[in-house]
Structure 1
């Protein structure tokens, strides 16, 4: 019986955390957490911090060329 209660509590906690993560991401609060992790990485793991900045720059970069599908029209 104790195992059932433990697993039930674990399921409730994980479901709550999953709901909170989707709620925070939907409202745009996830960027604050990403910034906090980036600050931690800058202090303790410099290679991870550099990778974070490279990924942010790559995500913001716009492609200057069209896709191959645009050429067929």
Structure 2
């Protein structure tokens, strides 16, 4: 019986964390966690840190689009 209670608790905690992650992503509130993880990556996993900044630069880049008058 103790195993069932323990597993139920684990399921509830993981479900709550999953819900919180989706809520934070929809509201755009995950930047603080992303910054903390980037600091961890910089300290312990240098290749992961470099990849993080490359992906951020790619996301920030805007593709050049022509003006409608150019047609």
- TM-score, length basis structure 2: 0.74
Aligned to 2:69: none
Root-mean-square deviation (CA, aligned residues, Å) is: 1.8
1:12 counterpart residue number: 12
- For structure 1, list consecutive stretches of 5 or more residues without a partner in the other structure: 67-73
CA drift of 1:51 comes to: 0.9
Alignment of 1:1-73 (within 5 A): 1-64=1-64
How many residues align? The count is 66
For residues 9-39 of structure 1, give each alpha carbon's deviation from its aligned partner in whole angstroms, at most 9, with x where no partner exists: 1111111111211222222221111111111
Deviation at 1:56, TM superposition (A): 0.6
Structure 1 length normalisation: TM-score?
A: 0.73
Query: 2:59 & 2:9 partners in 1: Cα distance?
Result: 39
| Rounded Cα–Cα distance in structure 2 between residues aligned with 1:41 and 1:2 | 38
